Amino acid sequence: MDSAGHDINLNSPNKGLLSDAMTDVPVDGAAVGRTAAAEGLSAAEEEELRAEIAKVEEEIGTLRQVLAAKERHCGELKRKLGLTPLDGLKQNLSKSWHDVQVSNAYVRTSEKLGEWNDKVTQSDLYLSASSTLEDWNEKLTQSEAYKKTQETLSQAGQKTSAALSNVGSVISRKLGDMRNSATFKSFEDRVGTIKSRVVGSRENSTDGLQSPSAGDKPPQDSAPF
């Protein structure tokens, strides 16, 4: 095997490396740029298509600039009206949802769901299941266990209400008895006595601080001549 060729041994440390002879092969850029679809075109046709591509790309750039200017102008108008980005988002969501609702796919899906619902509710299996559930419900409400449970709950509610009413009556009676007791009356008398003493001491202090009347003024010594 020629040593200048490729080393195709998978265990060789030189696998995957190109030889110097292969790396020196020139590459034609024009040949690489031509696709399989352009093989049947003449040079003039290819040049015409390239010119058309350049023209379209230029128009796209112009449209992008116009769109950016329109978006800026729209943003300025919204700011003048006091509209926030959240308002714009809500409007876009509402419009998107409306577009979904009027779309053919949504309408067809709604119609299909309606048809399936009609078929299910009118099927023998659904009618039989509904009838069975109604029978079970009727039997349950008419059973002795259900009636006893309902009576027990009603009696428990009545007993609870009566107990609360009795507690309120007992508390009121206890408060009345406490007010009429000798201890409470003695306490009231003491409070009244203390209040009277405090009021009397205030009145006495007020009388002592009053200024003397004109008739009670001491006589002034006459100045000697």
Per-residue pLDDT of the chain (225 residues; tens, 9 = 90+): 444 444 445 455 554 444 444 445 555 545 545 554 566 788 999 999 999 999 999 999 999 999 999 999 998 998 898 888 888 788 889 989 989 988 999 889 988 899 899 889 888 888 889 889 988 888 888 888 888 898 899 888 888 988 888 888 888 888 877 777 778 778 877 787 887 777 777 666 665 555 555 455 555 555 554
Please state, in angstroms and rounded to a whole number, the distance separating the CA atoms of residues 162 and 168. 10
The C-alpha angle 58, 60, 63, rounded to 5 degrees, equals: 110
**With the CA atoms of 67, 73, 75 and 80 taken in that order, what torsion angle do they form, in degrees rounded to the nearest 10?**
-170
Please state, in angstroms and rounded to a whole number, the distance separating the CA atoms of residues 20 and 33. 25
Cα distances from 68 to residues 38, 108, 117, 122, in angstroms, run 36, 38, 49, 57
